[in-house]
Structure 1
Amino acid sequence: MTPTDIFSYAGTAASVTAAFVMVRASWQINSAEVWRGEAEAQKTRADRLQDDLSEIKERLTRIEAENRRLVELITTLDPTRIRSDI
């Protein structure tokens, strides 16, 4: 094997290695972008669910207050209509 052959093979190996490094770096960058996008989508979903949960809590509080008021009204009108287990 002559020095020219060795340099030729080394040049080919270096080109293949460089191509592999470039493909791998590209894949990692694309993978990072995909994960970043997924993380942003999950955060948006979590924020929306948090807003929904807050709205549900507010509605429940309002319904409980209305129920207490209705129990007071019914008790005032006819106490015998109220069950003792409420």
Structure 2
Amino acid sequence: IVTRLAQLEMLREEVIVRRIVAIGELVDPRHEVVVRLRAALEELLAAFLAREHLRRVHLRAVWDESPGQRSRGHLDHEVEPA
């Protein structure tokens, strides 16, 4: 994933965030590994966002267990402007 993010570095911030959210849909975002991964992704994005004059992207794990639906996780995001 880190290599993939490095390849995406030239893309705009919103494209990177969409890719991270897609990764989050593959796994249970409550899992400890995913929590640590989310923190690492926020750090990796910090340098890129500074270059793009944005402060930070906050990623939040969300796990949807709606009745009658398949359980599904994702990483929600919020961009903090400079």
The question of a shared fold, defined as TM-score above 0.5 by the shorter chain, is answered with no
Looking at both structures, which has the greater relative contact order when contacts are Cα pairs under 8 Å and sequence separation is at least 6?
2
Structure holding more strand per residue: 2
Structure holding more helix per residue: 1
